[in-house]
Amino acid sequence: MQPRSTLGVAGLRKTFGGVEVLHGVDLELRAGEVHALVGENGAGKSTIINVLSGRLRPDGGQIVLNQAPVTFRNPLAARRAGVSIIAQELELVPTLTIVENVFLGAEPTAYGFVRWRDARRRVASVLTELGVNASPDRAVSTMGVADQQLVEVAKAIVGEFQVLIMDEPTSALNLEDTERLFRIVRRLKETGVAILYVSHRLWEVFDLADRVTVLRDGHRISTTEIGKTNVDSVIRGMLGDRSSLITDATGHLRRGAPTHARTGQPVLQVKALASGDLLQDISLAVHGGEIIGLAGVIGSGRTELCEAIYGLRKVDEGEVRLGGKPAKLDEPKTAACSGVFMLPEDRKGAGIFARLDVRENAVLNARTDVGEVESDADLREVGPGARHHSLGERLGMTRVLSAVERSAFGKLQKAFSIRCTGPEEIITALSGGNQQKVLFGRAALAQPKLLLLSEPTRGVDVGAKEEIYAAIERFAARGVAIVVSSSEITELLRLSSRIYVLRNGRITAELVSHETSEEEVLARMAG
């Protein structure tokens, strides 16, 4: 018997600024099914999600709920109709507690009073299932990114719903948390919930989904039962003519760590470093032009190590040396002045400036005559200059400087393949991959000696990953020392010549990338 259609769109069309971004898309979610939606950033996935969750109104076509046309005027209307969503970007209020965030705007009440005891009980139960060891009364601002992501999950699965939309739910989770989430998804599926699962991690799609729909440039390319397709076919559907870039069946593109000559003094040396209660006896070295990887589960210390090197965490013991000389990097400003640039793990919270446009984000802290940027090959010519202009100073400067910045951004845009409507577009309107490429443009203007990259391709599609990988390798070719901290082992094997494995705040292994395997790295991570 054919399962009934729970939620879907028929002939969906959506236009922004006179440009149609969805071209008559059909999508059907069935009760008791996990339906994966895949495609590059800009393919239309987020627009479909926003229509289904009541955040956008379609310009054509209709939403169908239980075989009847419906209209969701806002997210609250969608939620009342039984549609729940786990958003890709965190939508929590940091100053509120977990329980306040979970029930924000929908607090359980009786006779006009909020039933906080009942709310705390329900949240505590969900947190236990998700593996979050925290009181419902804990402030969200005191939690790490991974636990905040799990609070987002808790928001979505508390209460009654027929449909669950999951937009990159595992982007901040380690393997253990991911598997725990998968068990919850399978349980919800067994109860008849229809689940739309959006992820750039194709192994998750093939592990979890029953059917997969491929989008490209606002068109539905295919909808296929998962057992009747494979990773290569899905990638070809996503990229079209560009699929020849892919040679790695994992979806992470080519495997083969670059090799770099390790001559002379290392750019970075860390000796017996200790920081706080986690990092202990950390020693490593990175030479100019070398890319090293940091592997480990969330909480292993790899993110904290990058933060300690950059001055975001206090170094209690040990030594950090740059170019063979002791460096006291006690704050990010000192690190930046010493030639260290860091792309943070939390792009939204600590990377981009959400209220500024794309150009301002790219050139914000460039201490340079940005007019010198001529091409990707010449980006190394742009570096620290005689003047540093704060945002306030730049806003009061002449139109000449604005024109120089426009010109510089145009060259950065070409060099890093940044896709946007123009330099004045607000950066939050860009896809995650293009936001990340803007930050790489900012790094190029800083002309670093050492580049710290924490989860450089989180939430980025297959095609944009290759562009970011190419950008990283161009930095290395110019002699920049690079540290990549990533939860994706295939990414570390793809980029780095050596991988340091961290567990419980200590380095437990140093592996040569072309001599190891994903299985060995996983085993070392697990101990």
User: Could you report the per-residue pLDDT of 454-467, keeping only the tens digit for each?
Assistant: 999 887 777 788 88
Would you state the pLDDT for residue 244? 54
Q: For residues 5 and 70, is the Cβ–Cβ distance under 8 A? A: no
Would you state the pLDDT for residue 263? 55
Buried/exposed 48-83: b ≥16 CB within 10 Å, e otherwise: bbbbbbbbbebeebebbbeeeeeebeeeeebbebbb
Determine the Cα–Cα distance for residues 261 and 271; give it in Å rounded to an integer: 22
For residues 86-103, give the mean pLDDT: 87
User: Could you report the per-residue pLDDT of 221-251, keeping only the tens digit for each?
Assistant: 999 999 999 888 888 888 776 555 444 434 4
More confident residue, 498 or 415: 498
Label the pairing between strands 279-286 and 291-295.
unpaired
Domains defined for the chain, CATH in brackets: 1-81+195-246 (3.40.50.300), 252-339+449-527 (3.40.50.300), 355-447 (no CATH)
**pLDDT, the chain, mean:** 83
For the chain, what percent of residues have pLDDT higher than 70? 86
Res 496 pLDDT > 60: yes
User: Which has the closest alpha carbon to 232: 210, 253, 211, 255?
Assistant: 253
Determine the Cα–Cα distance for residues 364 and 367; give it in Å rounded to an integer: 9
Res 58 pLDDT > 70: yes
Q: Which helix (H) or strand (E) holds 494?
A: helix 489-495
Determine the Cα–Cα distance for residues 343 and 437; give it in Å rounded to an integer: 11
Strands (E), 175-218: 194-198, 211-216
Would you state the pLDDT for residue 329? 85
Would you state the pLDDT for residue 277? 85
Would you state the pLDDT for residue 250? 43
Would you state the pLDDT for residue 361? 86
Would you state the pLDDT for residue 225? 96
Lowest mean pLDDT among 209-213, 245-249, 316-320, 436-440: 245-249
Q: Which residues pair with 321 in a beta bridge?
A: 269, 326
For the chain, what percent of residues have pLDDT higher than 90? 39
Determine the Cα–Cα distance for residues 321 and 272; give it in Å rounded to an integer: 12
Token output for 292: 């090293």
Would you state the pLDDT for residue 526? 66
Lowest mean pLDDT among 132-136, 378-382, 398-402: 378-382
Res 493 pLDDT > 70: yes
For residues 418-430, give the mean pLDDT: 85
pLDDT band at 365; cut points 50, 70, 90:
low
pLDDT band at 422; cut points 50, 70, 90:
confident
For residues 201-214, give the mean pLDDT: 91
Would you state the pLDDT for residue 231? 84
Query: How many other C-beta atoms are found inside a 10 Å radius of the C-beta of residue 508?
Result: 15
What is the reported pTM? 0.62
User: Which has the closest alpha carbon to 221: 232, 230, 213?
Assistant: 213
Strands (E), 323-371: 325-326, 340-343
For residues 311-333, give the mean pLDDT: 91
The DSSP secondary structure of 89-113, one letter per residue, reads S----TTSBHHHHHTTT---EETTE
Would you state the pLDDT for residue 96? 93
